Amino acid sequence: MSSISVDHVRLDGKLAVITGGGSGIGEAAARVFADAGATVVVTGRRLEPLQRVAKEIGGHAIACDVSDQAQVIDLFAQAKQITGKVDVLLNNAGGPGPIACVADVDMKAWVETMNINLVGAMFCLQEAAKIMSEQGSGSIINMSSLMGIQGYPMRSAYVASKFALIGITETMARELGAVGVRVNALMPGAVSGENMDRILERRSAAEGRPVHEIEKENYTDVAALKRWVTPQEVARAALFYASDLSSAITGDKMKVDCGRF
């Protein structure tokens, strides 16, 4: 019987593309992957934060709006030139979408959310699937959400996009398994950081309630561990899927939610 070695969690010699890599979970994952030995490409719409992260981890920064297919095609072409392969995709770019009831939601904002969270994710998945199929290996990690398996009031656009990513994950796992490519999904719960701070402020304005009340009632008190998830905790779960620790796992979805049953 073989035993677990440090090599199983290492990403030495592998190239990882992380969308939405300039902040939050994406930035945390870039640091975790780089610490594990990966060459990391961070991408997003704003070049300045990407360059900061890339400089600090010895990686590469490429500006890309994932909702623009031409930019995504160019992103993956550039990434592949670095080492000749793309070994890991953390499909993380996305936004929270409009905070409103279905009857009142701004449909322009709703569609824009789908274009980033779902259509943009698909553009990345297409390019990764082509490259990884040709090389006969790879790990794709789609960033869904706890709201990808249960509906949530006033978040219909985000919920719809994250539900869809779960189905796409299972579909691609079946499509790509025969060529040695694994596809899995992470489902974070409430993750601390600037993004969640903005959501709390918008919910407070929409519901006419103080932020601390919404935070306790909807996010921390309902979790078994009674706290927020940190971006670093989600990043470590992503490393599990990216590494050989999960070599027999595909089509899977993992909650990282401090026990929000």
Domains and CATH numbers, the chain: 12-189+230-256 (3.40.50.720)
Nearest CA to 207 out of 95, 96, 98, 100 is that of 100
Exposed, middle or buried, 127 (CB in 10 Å: 0-12/13-18/19+)?
Answer: buried
Q: What is the pLDDT of residues 186-239, one digit of tens each?
A: 999 989 888 788 888 888 988 899 998 998 988 899 999 999 999 999 999 999
- Intervals of the chain under pLDDT 50: 1
Exposed, middle or buried, 145 (CB in 10 Å: 0-12/13-18/19+)?
Answer: buried
Read off the pTM.
0.93
Phi, psi for residue 108 in degrees, rounded to 5 = -65, -45
In the residue annotation, 158 being an active-site residue is answered as: yes
The pLDDT value recorded for residue 199 is 81
**Separation between Cα atoms, residue 194 and residue 190, nearest integer Å:** 12
The pLDDT value recorded for residue 7 is 82
